[in-house]
Structure 1
């Protein structure tokens, strides 16, 4: 799965960048509906194509939250194709519930133990792979071909959308530190840290979900004439987070980390 995630990430960057998560969610639900349509019509080629699209878009959502997916195993036992589709619909609904809480208007539940986005994306993909297995589709083999096709066919089709998983800051940082990180935009020359916090909206998203999803940190680049950060000043960061300064070669970073 790591190789697939990396190939899909490279494809998305080649095409222009990730959709905003709620837009990606809308595409996921659209494809889940098209899986149902293909099953109802009994069109094998169309069903295979729609299952592949569900795998790609759900993997995109996982990438956006720095999730390392586990290889999905095929469901054992006597499970019908219809039951597997119901599982796909159910898990897509769980993904929607979580993303609406992270990115939309739904309130987060106080107790979310065991209800991470990773859990439901993996269960969604397990049902997809199991349905493909029952239909005698080699979905993983076909997935590589689909990635190559989309990279060529759709190049330049989408406008670039800034995303904390594609910022240069995090791409540079994870070359030095392994983990699940988001990255911030480049500070303006001599910008105060409190002003930067107001301008970098993804930091507020990170603080909202970092503990639930197990994100390791939010990386902020620190050029020589960049951020004016005073370690003795009290910033509007919850007590469950702390800020550290790190240097690797010529690269300097501030990293907001969960306690």
Structure 2
């Protein structure tokens, strides 16, 4: 599954980058509805295609939150398509509820459960695998050809959307350090930290969800010449406890890593 996530990530980068999460969510719900349409019409060809689309889009959402998915196997006790489809719709709705709190106007509950996004995305994929198995589809065997087809057919179709999982800062840092990290936009030489904070939208999202989602840190690559600090790094970045900045050097690069302390 980890290698499949990497291949889907490479495909998405090739096509122009990830959708904004709420746009990805809209596509997930659309495809879940199309699975229902294929089941209703008893169209097995369409069903295979829609199940693969649900699997790929849900994997993209997992990638955007640096989630490492586990392999989903079918539940042999599940024998009815309707029950598995209801599970797919229910779990897609749970993904929607969480992402609306992460990315939309809905506030996070104080009782938000750590790791819940991964659990519900994996439940979506388990329902997909059950439906595929009931209909004799070897979904994993067909995903590779889907990736090849989309990489050639859809190249240049989508506009590039900045995303904290695709920024050069985090991609470079993760070549040195493994973990669940997001990254900031490219900093300008001599840029004031407070000014960088004003135009850096990813950091606010990170601070909102890092604790509940279990992200390991937020990566900012030091420009050359370096940042200009007014008061302190934490103050200029508007960080509140329990977050602080750790400075790391890897190769020729200097990184500021915003991490939860304690």
CA shift in 2, pair 1:78/1:69, >3 Å: closer
Within 1, Cα distance between the matches of 2:175 and 2:135?
Answer: 41
Within 1, Cα distance between the matches of 2:197 and 2:125?
Answer: 36
Q: Aligned with 1:242: secondary structure?
A: strand
Within 2, Cα distance between the matches of 1:194 and 1:160?
Answer: 26
Within 1, Cα distance between the matches of 2:162 and 2:153?
Answer: 22
Q: Which moved more, 1:221-230 or 1:19-28?
A: 221-230
- Report the counterpart of residue 210 of structure 1 in structure 2: 210
- Report the counterpart of residue 174 of structure 1 in structure 2: 174
- Which aligned pairs between 1:1-259 and structure 2 lie closer than 5 A? 1-114=1-114, 116-229=116-229, 232=232, 235=235, 236-259=238-261
Within 2, Cα distance between the matches of 1:135 and 1:241?
Answer: 49
Q: Aligned with 1:226: secondary structure?
A: coil
Within 2, Cα distance between the matches of 1:155 and 1:225?
Answer: 36
Within 2, Cα distance between the matches of 1:3 and 1:173?
Answer: 19
Deviation, 1:224, is 2.6
- Kept in 2: contact 1:187–1:226 (CA 8 A): no
Q: Aligned with 2:255: secondary structure?
A: strand
Within 2, Cα distance between the matches of 1:230 and 1:2?
Answer: 42
TM-score scaled to structure 2, two decimals? 0.96
- How many residue pairs are counted as aligned between the two chains? 259
Within 2, Cα distance between the matches of 1:20 and 1:100?
Answer: 12
Within 2, Cα distance between the matches of 1:38 and 1:233?
Answer: 54
Q: CA RMSD in A?
A: 1.3
Within 2, Cα distance between the matches of 1:254 and 1:234?
Answer: 11
Q: Aligned with 1:211: secondary structure?
A: helix
TM-score scaled to structure 1, two decimals? 0.97
- Kept in 1: contact 2:8–2:147 (CA 8 A): yes
- Kept in 1: contact 2:21–2:61 (CA 8 A): yes
Unaligned runs of 5+ in 2: none
Unaligned runs of 5+ in 1: none
